[in-house]
Amino acid sequence: MRRVAIVIALVVILIAGTAFTAGPGTLSVLDGIMGGGRGTARVREGVPFGTHGQKLDVWRPSGGAKTGLPVLIFWYGGGWVHGSRSAYAFAARAYAKAGYVVVMPDYRKVPEVRFPAFLQDGAEAVKWTRDHIEASGGDPNRIAVAGHSAGAYTVAMLTLDPRWLRAEGVDPRIIKAAVGLCGPYDFYPFTARRAIDAMQGAADPVMTQPIHFARRDAPPMLLVSAGDDTQVKAHNAD
């Protein structure tokens, strides 16, 4: 699965090159105008999953193998406050063009919810993928995860802390590789307003931090940060 992580990383780096100057929504529009969707297809749109009516989209290559493709679940960013599947459609298309069946799920956000609701939604998305992705040509035994910003936080927590997937009856070993793009992994004590709003009420704030769950037997992980990122400081992403 190291090859999977490398391929995902290359696509992530391409996304990182422009995401912070243009914004994800703008990138999706430009990507569509410039033909970024060629060779890909959104085969399912707005599929309900989980217990709170969240929705997801599924993308895949439009040609090539019809079954047994590697799967990538991608969580978008937005500081736990905003973000959408449509704004990150360019990322789904890029991964699909690289040969993946891509699942792009929504999740509940602040102020509607606080920690750990977005992690619970993330675990439900993994469960849905395990149970249904074969119908779109994906291999449920070859699932990798990736995310940007708050989505990268979800990726790290689901990969490192097994309680969230186990709560949904999912074997945590289902995640074979993980990539986080400019995500916060070590940000307690909370100082940023968004972090305070998202994490307030946690019984033990330390248990909200991905770094607390770092372990030698974790799947291959690549965490990409930007030295000039003004939203997630480098020392919070290391």
**DSSP letter assigned to residue 219:** P
Q: Which structural domain range is residue 192 located in?
A: 2-237
Q: How far apart are CA 131 and CA 29, in angstroms?
A: 32
Q: Residue 102 maps to which CATH number?
A: 3.40.50.1820
Confidence of residue 122 (pLDDT cuts 50, 70, 90): very high
Structure-token match 């290359």, residue found: 10
- What average pLDDT does this structure show over 117-142? 99
Q: What is the pLDDT of residues 14-53, one digit of tens each?
A: 555 444 444 665 555 555 544 456 899 999 999 999 999 9
Round the average pLDDT of the chain to a whole number and report it. 88
Tokens representing residue 95 in the block:
């991964």
Q: What is the pLDDT of residue 193?
A: 95
Q: How far apart are CA 99 and CA 177, in angstroms?
A: 16
Q: How many CA atoms lie less than 13 Å away from 39 in the CB half-sphere?
A: 14
Whether 198 has a pLDDT exceeding 50, the answer reads yes
Confidence of residue 7 (pLDDT cuts 50, 70, 90): low
Q: How far apart are CA 233 and CA 197, in angstroms?
A: 18
Whole-model pTM? 0.87
Q: How many CA atoms lie less than 13 Å away from 223 in the CB half-sphere?
A: 26
Q: What is the pLDDT of residues 170-195, one digit of tens each?
A: 999 999 999 999 999 999 999 999 99
Q: What is the pLDDT of residue 125?
A: 99
Number of domains, the chain: 1
